[in-house]
A and B are shown apart, each in its own frame.
Chain A
Amino acid sequence: MSSTTISARRGPMAILARTGRMIMPAIVLFWLAMAFFGYWVAPYDPAGIQDADLFEGMSRKFWLGTDYFGRDMLSRILAGARYTVGISLMATSLAVASGVLLGLAASAIGGLFDAAVSRFLDALISIPSKMFGLVLVAAFGASIPVLVLTLAVIYLPGCYRINRSVAVNVAALDFVAVARARGESTLYIMIREILPNMVGPVLADFGLRFIYVVLLLSSLSFLGLGVQPPQADWGSLVRENMPGLPYGAPAVIMPAIAIASLTIAVNLTIDSLFGRHARDGVR
């Protein structure tokens, strides 16, 4: 078997693999773009009642059919990206950023600070997340800032735990001891020595946590505590169109697919990124 045939056989496979790798980031980028522009791209007014039947199937006029109230489903999903992607992204970023900061600080400062923060967050983690969300949202109303903060607070303890353990591991490595011996300040060590070596695990954690945030937001919406009508995130879209499920209405299936495509794409994208970073880390 000559080398040319091998490369020829590899060619299409490689292209396939390469495009396969490209699809996931493309989906992530698409939903990100929709989070910003979805509302304007939508073919119809997402809240406008169209001259259509309820739970209409897919048609040339309404690509993804209509919902329980005769509204265009495609427009509602595109406009809903703003809430699902936006809220989840903000909440996850907030949770991960605070988790990283606190974890870093706990590992670098240690002692009483470490113990106090750890115990406090352990107490938070012990309250079931849906219950905690339920109570917080009921107390402060289901506005978007409240939802972002609630989701962030719920996932902060988990982030902290992981990041603290990673940071503690890194802090025990030789080059950190060397930096300490050089007499560098705690802040310098945190930012210049420990943080750059945490990127991989932090990103991997971000991916899984993002799924949970998206799902918890959907669950809250299912319990009627998510984004409030006439706005709707994807979870609310699934919930409000639930009666269409027995007909296999796209109104209930499509937003669910949107949720799954977003979470899977984010994870696989980060998995591939994480692999590269891990190799970089070995350097």
Chain B
Amino acid sequence: MNATIGRLLLTRLVAAILTLWFVATVVFVITNLLPGDVAQELLGQSATPEAVAGLRKALGLDLPPWQRYLEWLWNMVRGDAGRSLVNGSPVAALIGSRLGNSLILAGITALVAVPLALVLGITAAVYRGSVYDRIVGAGTVLAVSVPEFLVASAAVLVFAVQLRWVPALSQLGRLDGVLDVIRTFALPVLTLTFVIVAQMARMTRAALVDVLSSSYIEMARLKGAGQARIVVWHALPNAIGPIANAIAFSLSFLLGGVIIVETIFNYPGIAKLMVDGVSTRDLPLVQACAMLFCGAYLLLVTMADIAAILANPRLRHR
């Protein structure tokens, strides 16, 4: 068992390093194609040719792109993500100050959304074909079909502006006690739950239905095992693979995909940092963020695969 996981981890690590390098390179190439550079963006209206040339030189942007790329790559290998071109502070510090916030939001959302999706998916699979199943199916499609900015704005309007139950902004500065935490995170978590529950629930249902119709479940049923026991002991472990993958995919979305929620609730997370980076053409920052998102995705997918191996006796003993 350890050998299987060890081998998996090793191959994944090598693949991850290559993938990260590839992603950073793609991002470097594309951001170099963006119209305008950091000097022009910083100077805005006062971007006279002389001022732009001067600032470019000061920022080292007068070097040819390949030279800048190699320099960046060499620094990255040594573990230095460089400095922001906009304010000169280290990229690692900028990301560090925001990453925690993003992880908190992602963590709380996962705590709410994953159990909810599992319960919906499992119950729908158990009562497949029933009215309940159909309601869950249509409900999840409906939830995923409404644009998230509309959900978020409508929620703010109702719960913050009209009812005043929760603040309109999700600020971390003034949290006293559990109630404050709940109030602060209620709306962003609600919005994000809307977005990610559907896919996880549908996947869970599909995977379980598949397993439940297989012959060995029929066998267990003939042996007289109860419905709950069948689902939890016999079916679920075999369905973990696809379910864990769907969860991993949804969770990776919670880091980089939440830009709209961060915008509407003015939440200082990492997605907004990257968008700011793109709009100011702050290349080192954009690259570091892209690599971070990519790394998080790869990590989650690997964890999902390991979970599948651990849960499934057949895979475990291979």
- Asked if the two chains touch in their complex, CB atoms less than 8 Å apart, one says yes
Chain A residues in contact with chain B, CB under 8 A? Answer: 119, 122-123, 125-131, 134-136, 138-141, 211, 215, 218-219, 222-223, 235, 238-239, 242, 245-246, 252, 256, 259-260, 263-264, 267-268
Closest Cβ–Cβ distance, residue B264 to chain A (whole Å): 10
Residue pair B154, A245 in contact (C-beta under 8 Å): yes
**B101 within 8 A of partner (CB):** no
Closest Cβ–Cβ distance, residue A224 to chain B (whole Å): 10
Closest Cβ–Cβ distance, residue A88 to chain B (whole Å): 13
Interface residue from A122, A128, A130 paired with B19 (Cβ < 8 Å): A122
Residue pair B147, A218 in contact (C-beta under 8 Å): yes
Could you tell me the dominant secondary structure of chain B's interface residues?
A: helix
Chain B 19-41, CB-CB to A under 8 Å as 1, else 0, gives 10011001100110111000000
Chain B 272-287, CB-CB to A under 8 Å as 1, else 0, gives 0011001100000010
Interface residue from A239, A246, A260 paired with B145 (Cβ < 8 Å): A260
11 A-B residue pairs with CB within 8 Å? A119-B18, A128-B252, A128-B271, A131-B293, A135-B34, A139-B31, A222-B149, A223-B259, A256-B147, A259-B145, A263-B145
**B290 within 8 A of partner (CB):** yes
- In the complex, which residue of chain A has the Cβ closest to the Cβ of B147? A218
Residue pair B148, A135 in contact (C-beta under 8 Å): no
Residue pair A134, B293 in contact (C-beta under 8 Å): no
**B260 within 8 A of partner (CB):** yes
Residue pair B298, A126 in contact (C-beta under 8 Å): yes
Interface residue from B22, B33, B252, B259 paired with A140 (Cβ < 8 Å): B33
Once the chains are docked, how many angstroms separate the CA of A130 from the CA of B259? Answer: 8
Residue pair B294, A126 in contact (C-beta under 8 Å): yes
- In the complex, which residue of chain B has the Cβ closest to the Cβ of A140? B33
Residue of B18, B27, B141 ringed by the most chain A CB atoms within 10 A: B141
B148 partner residues in chain A, CB cutoff 8 A: 215, 219
Residue pair B278, A264 in contact (C-beta under 8 Å): no
A245 partner residues in chain B, CB cutoff 8 A: 153-154, 157
Interface residue from B147, B260, B278, B286 paired with A259 (Cβ < 8 Å): B147
B82 partner residues in chain A, CB cutoff 8 A: none
Once the chains are docked, how many angstroms separate the CA of A264 from the CA of B27? Answer: 35
Residues A136 and B297 in contact in the complex (CB < 8 Å), given A123-B19, A238-B150, A267-B141: no
Residue pair A125, B297 in contact (C-beta under 8 Å): yes
Once the chains are docked, how many angstroms separate the CA of A123 from the CA of B161? Answer: 42
The size of the chain B interface, using a CB distance under 8 A, is 45
Residue pair B147, A219 in contact (C-beta under 8 Å): yes
Once the chains are docked, how many angstroms separate the CA of A12 from the CA of B148? Answer: 39
Residues A127 and B290 in contact in the complex (CB < 8 Å), given A139-B30, A223-B259, A239-B149: yes
Interface residue from A119, A126, A136, A242 paired with B23 (Cβ < 8 Å): A126
Residue pair B293, A260 in contact (C-beta under 8 Å): no
**B188 within 8 A of partner (CB):** no
Residues A127 and B294 in contact in the complex (CB < 8 Å), given A256-B150, A259-B147: yes
Once the chains are docked, how many angstroms separate the CA of A256 from the CA of B286? Answer: 32
Residue pair A128, B253 in contact (C-beta under 8 Å): yes
B257 partner residues in chain A, CB cutoff 8 A: 128-131
Residues A127 and B293 in contact in the complex (CB < 8 Å), given A238-B149, A246-B161, A260-B142: yes
**B144 within 8 A of partner (CB):** yes
Residue pair B256, A128 in contact (C-beta under 8 Å): yes
- In the complex, which residue of chain B has the Cβ closest to the Cβ of A158? B249
Residue pair B274, A123 in contact (C-beta under 8 Å): no
Residues A126 and B259 in contact in the complex (CB < 8 Å), given A138-B34, A219-B147, A219-B149: no
Once the chains are docked, how many angstroms separate the CA of A223 from the CA of B279? Answer: 12
Closest Cβ–Cβ distance, residue A106 to chain B (whole Å): 17
Residues A260 and B271 in contact in the complex (CB < 8 Å), given A134-B278, A222-B260, A245-B153: no
Residue pair A211, B144 in contact (C-beta under 8 Å): yes
Residue pair B149, A131 in contact (C-beta under 8 Å): no
Once the chains are docked, how many angstroms separate the CA of A128 from the CA of B279? Answer: 17
Residues A126 and B19 in contact in the complex (CB < 8 Å), given A131-B293, A135-B31, A245-B154: yes
Residue pair A242, B153 in contact (C-beta under 8 Å): yes
Residue pair B142, A128 in contact (C-beta under 8 Å): no
